[in-house]
């Protein structure tokens, strides 16, 4: 948080960035953007990433405009299929990507030092939370967390809490696995996966080392890539 002058500075810099984008993509190399405008987007990949400012899907993968259809929410979570008519932003994006854009891949991208997963750990170990939306939202991955604590959240021992806070990455990866599993509860996802036209991927980016881990298709275990 900054004072009024710096506030304007942040906005001014973003506007300068857009000016640079316009110079680059509309004047310097207009071909690809022009094609994206006249022919529409045809991304092959839906990436479901975290809102965390340090793990930007486009920067991380050096993507150009048009390559990635992106959902970003707290803790890169996929809720289960619930077609109840209420507002489901992530599910709507998955539906649009899979049914309208016909992407070939859905990647759930988790990462180290995830604040949302910290919130989940606090929640499931019985620590006090004080929010309207974060706790209900991250509870999507609650069942994924439970195997890593001895009992229920009410009964979590201090040892459980310490261990989880020391090794939150096991929960982060379990949450990615849970989101990939939730993807399979969407009929239009399952159908395409079983038909071989859609692949699901679970990735976890180690913010501290820059290494990427991914779920091995056979063993379902996270392994470092390369």
Supply 214's token pair.
Answer: 């991914």
77 vs 203: CA distance, rounded Å: 12
* Residue with smaller CB distance to a second copy, 140 or 160: 140
Residue 202 contacts by C-beta under 8 Å, 6 or more apart in sequence?
Answer: 107, 108, 110, 173, 176, 177, 179, 180, 214, 215, 222
Residue 111 annotated as lining a ligand binding site: yes
Classified as helix, coil or strand, 31 is helix
Using the rule CB under 8 A, is 199 a contact of a second copy? yes
* Residue with smaller CB distance to a second copy, 157 or 197: 197
What is the nearest approach in angstroms of a second copy to the Cβ of residue 221?
Answer: 18
* Residue with smaller CB distance to a second copy, 106 or 160: 106
Residue with tokens 């806070």: 165
What is the nearest approach in angstroms of a second copy to the Cβ of residue 24?
Answer: 5
CB 44 within 8 A of CB 104: yes
Residues 129-158 touching a second copy, rule: CB under 8 A, are 131-134, 136-138, 140
226 vs 99: CA distance, rounded Å: 32
CB 216 within 8 A of CB 201: no
Using the rule CB under 8 A, is 170 a contact of a second copy? no
Stretch that binds a second copy, among 10-18, 121-129, 148-156, 170-178 (CB under 8 A): 10-18
Residues 44-103 touching a second copy, rule: CB under 8 A, are 44-45, 51-56, 58-74, 77, 79, 81-83, 85-97, 99-100, 102-103
Residue 132 annotated as lining a ligand binding site: no
* Residue with smaller CB distance to a second copy, 10 or 150: 10
């Amino acid at each position: 948080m900054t004072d009024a002058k710096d506030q304007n500075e942040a906005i001014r810099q973003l506007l300068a960035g857009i000016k640079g984008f316009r110079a680059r993509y509309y004047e310097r190399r207009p071909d690809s953007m022009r094609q994206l405008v006249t022919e529409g987007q045809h991304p092959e990949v839906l990436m479901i990433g975290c809102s965390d400012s340090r793990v930007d899907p486009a920067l991380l993968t050096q993507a150009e405009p048009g390559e990635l259809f992106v959902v970003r929410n707290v803790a890169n979570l996929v809720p289960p299929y619930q077609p109840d008519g209420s507002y489901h932003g992530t599910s709507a994006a998955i539906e649009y990507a899979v049914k309208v854009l016909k992407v070939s891949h859905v990647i759930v991208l988790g990462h180290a030092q995830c604040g949302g997963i910290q919130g989940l750990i606090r929640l499931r170990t019985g620590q006090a939370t004080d929010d309207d939306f974060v706790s209900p939202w991250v509870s999507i991955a609650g069942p994924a967390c439970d195997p890593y604590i001895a009992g229920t959240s009410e009964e979590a021992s201090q040892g459980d809490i310490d261990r989880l806070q020391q090794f939150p990455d096991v929960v982060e990866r379990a949450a990615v696995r849970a989101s990939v599993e939730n993807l399979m509860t969407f009929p239009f996802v399952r159908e395409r996966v079983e038909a071989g036209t859609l692949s699901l991927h679970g990735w976890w980016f180690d913010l501290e080392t820059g290494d990427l881990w991914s779920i091995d298709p056979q063993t379902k275990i996270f392994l470092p890539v390369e």
